[in-house]
Amino acid sequence: MTNLVWLQAEWFSRSGCLVVVLGVWSSIGVVLHEKLISRRASWIRNKELRQLKAKQLGDSEIALGIDQVNADHDQRLNLAMQDLRMSVGVLEISLLISGTLVWGFGDLMVQAIVL
């Protein structure tokens, strides 16, 4: 059993574990956020398709409209997912790397600073 005393080398090393846990939680949040973005984009697409069908256009005009709505949907969804992955990916990677380094070498860093 370890005996941790406040402000000795071990507390800093153990705090790295918490930073890694935050990084893992952020990755779980990304999965949930992707699902929300996907559902919202599908809802918007379905709404636009219903509005298109309600206009009572000819078959060829409806087919062109459906193709345009689907293309817009794909483009919006790809941009939203790309932005999400970029913004959260940087945070997640930085948390995991810094937490792992502190967890593994935190006691050595504190000892080097103190000595």
Mean pLDDT by 10 residues, the chain (115 residues): 61 77 81 86 88 77 84 89 81 82 77 72
Is residue 29 domain-resident? yes
- 63 vs 101: CA distance, rounded Å: 56
Is residue 88 domain-resident? yes
Is residue 27 domain-resident? yes
Dihedral angle of Cα 96, 98, 101, 105, to the nearest 10 degrees: -140
Task: For the full predicted model, state whether its pTM sits above 0.85.
Answer: no
- Domain of residue 67 covers 13-114
Is residue 7 domain-resident? no
The total of structural domains in the chain comes to: 1
What pLDDT sits at residue 68? 87
Is residue 103 domain-resident? yes
| 77: amino acid identity, one letter | L
